[in-house]
Amino acid sequence: MHAAENKRRLKIAAITTIYFKYSHAQHIVDRFLEGYSWEGRHHRPDMDVASLYVEQVGENDLSRERLKRFPGMKHAETIEQALTLGTGSLAVDGVLLIGEHGNFPVNEKGQTLYPRYEYFKQIVDVYRKSGRTAPIFNDKHLSWNWKWAREMYDTAQKMDFGFMAGSSMAVGRRMPAVDLPWKAKIRESLVMRPAWLDGGDIHTLEALQAIIERRNKGESGIQWVEALTGDRFWKAMEAGSWDKGGWDNHLMETAFTRSNMIQVVRNNYGVVLPTVADLKRMAPQSYAYRFQYNDGTRATALAFQESPGQGRILSDTPVAVRLKNDSIFSTLVYLPYYTMRNFFNPLVNHMETLFSTGKSPYPIERTLLTTGMTAAGVESLFQKQKRIETPHLAIKYKSTEKSTFWRT
């Protein structure tokens, strides 16, 4: 039996690494506590955060203040306590698993070892002991470790509970507010974003995947990935096409024209299209991931890494797609100003759907795939830009015909 099947006001457990201003925990949990703007009104979720577990409490901690202001939200010393509310059995209807931010080790590949898998295991242990389950939302990628990510997915499937994950980039606003036509036939796609190894890569790939998974035969999974940096990156850019070892530069140009936060790249100019020379001068440590999909689709993720003291080339995430008829679809995944960050609104709204229905409003397989794509891209960089074959990423799924990004 799923706890979310009950009709009473739902109880949610929040499991977090840390809780400070602009942390993911603050963004997500605060919206459940305070509400958020939605479709021209202030929306308050019809469910309550019943418990809060925070692993790391620093000088800038906000969790203790929130616990005082919302006495119905109980402080939990352990994850088990957060889920059982001291009853000895599962006593909540949904779980927020927010393993982002905080002081955690970084491995030799540059991945931060956030304990999402470890948290998930503890949550599932409570489910097994209780003989029932509740839906889980997992913030960002499932884990830095592919095998652990796959185990998380397989466990949710076997135990049959709602599982939703991913980045706000997949469901945020777009400029223009368009989606790839349903069952469109495409050849190649490109997404670009400021460089941030692993933690930023997942945002980039979620933005891309949420669009191109709508293609004509659905998602087919990834055949191989190849990371490029240094001289190979610039040679690939100058090559101008996928078949020559690079990417479609018309897609890159289109993506730049969609950017709403592009920097002035030359003195005494306003905003102009950057040349390869401009990019090489300003962002010499940039890198790219080239993905070959099993159905022949091609995708490139560009990450611009600026020199120290140099401003970002761009600060947003445009996407461009070459269709089979040679036309180009493009849009900008739009993030508002830093202090506003209301792009968490649609993500939280989808979490409400997960908890109230017991089902994710979009496929968990998307984030399983982007988790694997991120890990494989990082591995290719670590192995000196070696092409990595990815038979484990032959993940097939169908998207929803109805768009799930924020339109209003």
pLDDT at 159 over 60: yes
The sign of the CA dihedral 193, 191, 138, 390 is: negative
pLDDT at 8: 87
Mean pLDDT of the chain: 96
Contact (CB, 8 A) for 62 and 29: no
CB-side neighbour CA atoms (13 Å) of 81: 9
Top pLDDT among 372 and 5 is at: 372
Give per-residue pLDDT as tens, 220-251.
Answer: 999 999 999 999 999 999 999 999 999 999 99
Check pLDDT > 80 for residue 2: no
pLDDT tens digits for range 102-158: 999 999 999 999 999 999 999 999 999 999 999 999 999 999 999 999 999 999 999
| Residues 6 or more apart whose Cβ sits within 8 Å of residue 238 | 246, 276
Distance CA 305, CA 308 (A): 9
- Kindly state the average pLDDT of the residues 37-59: 97
Question: Which pair of structure tokens corresponds to residue 121?
Answer: 């295991």
Reported as a single tens digit per residue, the pLDDT across 71-108 is: 999 999 999 999 999 999 999 999 999 999 999 999 99
Q: What three-state secondary structure class fits 208? A: helix
Res. 262: pLDDT tops 90 = no
- Alpha carbon distance 34, 45 (integer Å): 9
Give the model confidence (pLDDT) of 341-371 as tens digits. 788 999 999 999 999 999 999 999 999 999 9
pLDDT bin (cut points 50, 70, 90) of residue 263 is confident
φ, ψ at 154 (rounded to 5°): -60, -40
Contacts of 116 (CB under 8 A, 6+ apart): 97, 99, 138, 139, 141, 142, 143, 152
pLDDT band at 338; cut points 50, 70, 90: low
Task: Let me know how many helices (H) and strands (E) the chain has, helices first.
Answer: 11, 16
Instruction: Give the span between the Cα atoms of 83 and 65, in whole angstroms.
Output: 21
Q: In terms of Cα–Cα distance, which of 300, 307, 114, 274 is closest to 204?
A: 300
At 271 the pLDDT is 82
Helix (H, G, I), strand (E, B) or coil at 152: helix
pLDDT exceeds 80 at position 340:
no
Q: Give percent of the chain with pLDDT exceeding 90.
A: 89
Q: What is the rounded CA–CA span in Å between residue 99 and residue 170?
A: 18
Query: What is the structure's pLDDT at 337?
Result: 65
Instruction: Give the per-residue pLDDT at 289.
Output: 99
**Which range, of 268-272, 330-334, 383-387, averages the lowest pLDDT?**
268-272
3-state secondary structure of 276: helix
Q: Provide the pLDDT for residue 308.
A: 85
Determine contact, residues 330/151, Cβ cutoff 8 Å.
Answer: no
**161 pLDDT tier (thresholds 50, 70, 90):** very high
> What domains does the chain contain, in order, with CATH numbers?
3-166 (3.40.50.720), 174-339+384-393 (no CATH)
